[in-house]
Homo-oligomer: A and B are copies of this chain.
Amino acid sequence: MIYVMIPEAGCTIRVDLCRNLILMYTENKITSCENCARCWTNFSQLSQEELDLINRNRYEASFKPSEIIIKQGSPSSNAIFLVSGLAKVYMEGYSGKNLILNLAEPSTLLAGPGVHVNSRYCYSVAALTQVQACFINFDVIRKVIASNPGFAAGFIEDLSDKALRLHQKMLNLTQKKMHGRLAEALLYFADNIFRSDEFEMVLSRQELGEMTNMAKESVVRIIGEFENEHIIHATPRSVKILDRDKLNVISEKG
């Protein structure tokens, strides 16, 4: 494991977990939105003037693991970007049961569709690692949307992309059974978050259950089965995918 000290954040972080931050940090690009086009592809649509506007209306905050960045139901006045770190995006359901929708990494916009409808966040977001987040007032974003059609189109694309994933997740959760759902979650981590077949397991078994809609005990049991069949090697805090093909089949066959 390679660690690096980040003086501004007052902490040490694992390099493999925080690629983006390292990248930005080493390139000294955290100072302003102008340099943050890499944050969200869509920001590259903006003119200098518009970037300035946004830059004047944003502020940063940092969060420790488990701290809540967005609270479901609260008024949504800001669009939020992670600058660094990992967070879980989840809905608070009935009788305290959560449903983890996905993980958020840097360069994704966090706001939720509620922003454009009832000005309430429709999901919560909580930090999994140390997180640096950037808050941009939504009135400003709306202003830019109104004046920059390209940006608006990018926004539509972003919303659509998320909706599409949600549709897919809906099918997965309702039609696959446990093995398939868990296999898919593991592949999600490997492919979409860590881009490696060996990764740190940032979620507890309980949370893994909230993500795949199953009881934590079932998570444990199925992980055990996967291990017996030499499909993965797992500890409570790490996973290594040994037989990606098999895992794919399980994920697809449900």
Assuming the contacts A152-B156, A153-B152, A159-B163, asked whether A171 and B116 have C-beta atoms less than 8 A apart, the reply is no
Residues of B within 8 A of A112 (CB): 167
Residues of B within 8 A of A237 (CB): none
Residues of B within 8 A of A116 (CB): 156-157, 159-161
Residues of B within 8 A of A150 (CB): 146
Chain A's interface: helix, strand, loop or mixed, by majority? helix
Cβ of A184 to closest chain B Cβ, rounded Å: 12
A23 near B: Cβ within 8 Å? no
Binds B, one of A56-64, A80-88, A173-181: A173-181
A170 touches B171 (CB 8 A): no
Residues of B within 8 A of A161 (CB): 113, 116-117
How far does the alpha carbon of A123 sit from the alpha carbon of B170 in the complex, in Å?
Answer: 12
Residues of B within 8 A of A152 (CB): 145, 149, 152-153, 156
How far does the alpha carbon of A117 sit from the alpha carbon of B176 in the complex, in Å?
Answer: 25
How far does the alpha carbon of A176 sit from the alpha carbon of B97 in the complex, in Å?
Answer: 11
A176's partner among B94, B114, B123, B254 (CB-CB below 8 A) is B94
Contact with B along A109-153 (1 / 0, CB 8 A): 000111111100011000000000000000000100111011011
Cβ of A114 to closest chain B Cβ, rounded Å: 6
26 inter-chain pairs at a CB distance below 8 angstroms, sorted by A residue, are A93-B171, A94-B171, A94-B175, A94-B176, A94-B254, A99-B171, A113-B159, A113-B160, A113-B163, A113-B167, A116-B161, A117-B160, A122-B164, A122-B167, A123-B167, A145-B153, A146-B149, A149-B152, A152-B152, A155-B156, A159-B159, A162-B163, A163-B163, A166-B170, A170-B173, A174-B174
Q: With A99-B174, A115-B160 given, name 18 new contacts (CB 8 A).
A: A94-B175, A99-B175, A116-B160, A116-B161, A117-B157, A122-B164, A142-B153, A145-B152, A146-B149, A147-B149, A152-B152, A152-B153, A155-B156, A156-B156, A159-B163, A166-B166, A169-B170, A174-B213
Which A-B residue pairs are the 10 nearest by beta carbons? Answer: A113-B163, A113-B160, A116-B160, A152-B152, A146-B149, A93-B175, A113-B164, A159-B159, A163-B163, A174-B213
